Amino acid sequence: MDTDLRVRRILQAAVHSPSVLNTQPWRVHTSGRTVTLHADPARQLLHSDPSGREMLISCGAFLFTTRTAARRESMVADVSVLPDPDDKLLVATIELRPGRDPNAYERELALAIERRRTTRAPFEDQPLFSDVLHAVEAAAHEEGAELRVIQHSEPARDEVVRLVRRAEALAAEDPVAREEELAWTATAPDRDDGIPQDLLGPRPADERVPVRRFLAGAGSVPFEQHSTMAVLTTPDDTARDWIAAGQALENVLLVATTYFVRASFATTVLENPTTRHDLRRALTLDAAPQMVMRLGYGKMPGHTPRRPVTPSND
């Protein structure tokens, strides 16, 4: 077994992980079969994410993708999360060791890594089928989080979408928040991070569609009325919970991808402490909301760019 090649292939897959505004806030170091994953504060959204919550969710997603890609290489990842109390940016150490060949499920999940993409275009007017819904709920639960599905008929849904719009309006009035979002969206074609204009998606004509309205977004097109909306929650709201939320998020998204289900997000509402608090109350959650998403059936968009894997080596 060429271990170096396998470790490289695993990390090449892991960079496909989702991250807030495609900031890719991770740094990787390898030493033989040991991978250390650090959060990169130079890529943190200091204004909208001062605590680093979304940065750590993104790193948690990277961690889950690494674990999943390891199985494709017949390796097992032994993970230690936040192993050093004196180094808060050290998200995890990952020991990769040879394991049995992947089973059909593991292989299918790993194949979804490169097929998963955030899809901000309109979906078909069809909520998730119940077997798919159970599968994505189980995926969140496996990683220590929960998916609180908001039924279309639920009165709280309108209130949650109202809070999403309120948070976006407040951010749009704040010059620093505007500047931060615009630095990472409608990015130039030679950038290997951020979200290019054509992937920001059209703006929904109907305000009640739970898709993010980016400042640089354009157009006004009809969207579906019946996508499935869900909030990912964790029991507490610590750094460890944020990393768990990221791992759960990527498990949900990869499982969804195996069913040809796509997702988009509307997380400005969780960046503003007041609207986050109000969302929690509107849904009577006894857990911390970490992601707000919309799930449905739709076309596959293009890929957002990625920085190449350049792990520092010993």
Ligand X SMILES: Cc1cc2nc3c(=O)[nH]c(=O)nc-3n(C[C@H](O)[C@H](O)[C@H](O)COP(=O)(O)O)c2cc1C
Given the rule CB under 6 A, which residues bind ligand X? Answer: 18-22, 54, 57-58, 61, 117-118, 120, 195, 212, 264-268, 304
Nearest distance from C-beta of residue 74 to ligand X, angstroms = 26
Nearest distance from C-beta of residue 286 to ligand X, angstroms = 22
Please state the φ and ψ torsions of residue 129, each to the nearest 5 degrees: -70, 155
Q: Which residue is nearest to ligand X (CB)?
A: 18
Pairing of strands 146-150, 228-234: antiparallel
Nearest distance from C-beta of residue 97 to ligand X, angstroms = 28
Cβ atoms of residues 295 and 262 within 8 Å? yes
Give the residue carrying structure tokens 């199985």: 71
Determine the 3-state secondary structure of 265 from DSSP: strand
Nearest distance from C-beta of residue 23 to ligand X, angstroms = 8
Nearer to ligand X, 7 or 266 (CB): 266
Query: Which residue, 253, 255, 252, 242, is CA-closest to 290?
Result: 242
Nearer to ligand X, 19 or 228 (CB): 19
Q: Report residue 23 as tokens.
A: 């900031």
Distance in angstroms (rounded) separating the CA atoms of residues 137 and 118: 18
Nearer to ligand X, 96 or 113 (CB): 113
Distance in angstroms (rounded) separating the CA atoms of residues 221 and 10: 39
Nearer to ligand X, 21 or 283 (CB): 21
Nearer to ligand X, 118 or 275 (CB): 118
Nearest distance from C-beta of residue 102 to ligand X, angstroms = 23
